[in-house]
Amino acid sequence: MSRGAVRAGRGVFGPGLAVRLGLANAAGFIAFMPLLTLLAPLRIEAVDPDAKALILSGVALVGAVVASLSNIVAGWLSDRTRSRLGRRRPWLVTGVVGALAAYPLILFAQTGWGVLIGVVLFQLMFNLFFGPMNALLPDHVPDARKGLMSSAMAMGAPVGLAVGAVLAGMGDLSEPTRFALVAAVFAAGVAPLLLWREPPGPTVPPSINEQAPATRRRADFAMAWSSRLMIQLGLSASQVYLLYFVGRAAAEGAAFPERAPAALVSTLILVSTATSVVTALAAGWVSDRTGGRHLYVAVSGTLVCAGMAVFAADPSWTTALIGQLLYGAGVGLYSTTDTALVAQILPSRADAGRDLGLFNLGNTLPQALAPGLAILVLAGSGWGPMGGYPARFAIAGGSALLGGIAAAFIRGVR
């Protein structure tokens, strides 16, 4: 352990662990975001083009339920695991191996049911990795560095989206090549963390919130959970169906460039990714120095709402670009400050893995609710030439705004 890593009560946290966590988190997003936003939708479209939207909704719904349960169980088990590999690392290794094994099942699926089985296995094993990995943040990162570390971890989502966008834009790549690239990057990115020697327990002092009265800790926990649920519902209700939305708008004569829908989506995602990266990097550094992370989360919900409102108002290339810029700024601000906020207000570090798993329901429940909502909206009649897609974006924006309002009421942070 270096002298720089131990001063100021930082425990084992230093550049080495920061790089390992940042790489593993980015690799995790690369593992699942292109899969759920591009690879699985394209496989579903190949096996059943007529019912692709409904099949995708069902796959996302069941996968989200499995992800939610497995994340909580993995966090709880890792809290109580004692082994030569550490508390979290045995579950990290198991999850990575299992998630890699799920890719071929999805790739070679010939029916919607086959895709469903592959995605369920992936969600189960991936969350055995992802839940315990996130618990390393409260275990080993002090409050004064949580924003900075969260900035690095926030790069995971835009990087995952960017990889998906690049894969979408490279139309000459075969389907097996796309799967192989994602799997290879995932394995390489998590390898440094899997090889790290994990300490037997937490190495930094408890957060300030852990010393607060139990009633306030429970209230903050509930408000932060509600905020995450509503904002993530807004995010889930928009981006998963972006490919189908753009294709429908272009087919109905909207003012889009004459390019394939996948290529258009690739450009849009790259726009929001660049905005997210800049915003996320700045947000972590600033929030460590100013405090008030809950207020940053509140602003992020407003930005996401504004982006979705632009999408819903008038589908066109210009409005799509503006909407993605606003959306990207909101996601970047949210991804950094919400991660740091949640790690700071956990009721007890002894149950950090379990509690983060419960918080993760705020990520995965929207993945279940959004497809269910899509089934109702898209199956409706009388929506006009664009079907129910504009209504979905309007609902997504309203949900994100409510999530931002909920974050403003959190009190257990400076």
- Report pLDDT for 388: 67
d(CA 244, CA 185): 27
Sole residue written with tokens 């992802």: 130
Residue 318 tokens read as 């210009």
Q: Concatenated DSSP letters for 120-176? A: HHHHHHHHHHHHHHHHHHHHH--HHHHHHHHHHHHTHHHHHHHHHHHHHH-TTS-HH
**End-to-end Cα spacing for the chain:** 30
Sole residue written with tokens 């705020």: 362
Question: What sign results for the dihedral spanned by CA atoms 334, 22, 283, 352?
Answer: positive
Question: Which has the closest alpha carbon to 33: 181, 176, 125, 156?
Answer: 156
Residues near 357 by Cβ (< 8 Å), separated by ≥ 6? 71, 72, 73, 74, 75, 76, 131
- Report pLDDT for 387: 57
In this structure, the number of other CB atoms found within 10 A of the CB of residue 61 comes to 18
d(CA 270, CA 273): 5
- Report pLDDT for 4: 41
Residue pair 233/397 in contact (Cβ under 8 Å)? The answer is no
Tally of helices (H runs) and strands (E runs) in the chain: 16, 0
Is the model's pTM score more than 0.85?
no
- Report pLDDT for 12: 73
pLDDT tens-place values along the chain, 414 residues long: 344 443 434 457 788 888 999 899 999 999 988 888 888 888 998 888 888 888 888 888 888 889 889 999 999 999 999 888 888 999 999 999 999 999 999 999 998 899 999 999 999 999 999 999 999 998 888 888 888 888 888 877 777 767 877 876 776 788 898 899 999 999 999 999 999 988 887 787 776 666 666 777 788 888 999 999 999 888 877 776 777 777 777 776 667 777 777 788 888 888 888 898 899 889 888 888 888 888 899 999 999 999 988 877 777 888 888 989 999 999 989 988 998 888 888 877 778 889 898 888 887 777 667 666 666 666 554 455 455 677 777 888 888 999 999 999 887 666
CA distances in angstroms from 104 to 1, 176, 182, listed in the order given: 40, 9, 12
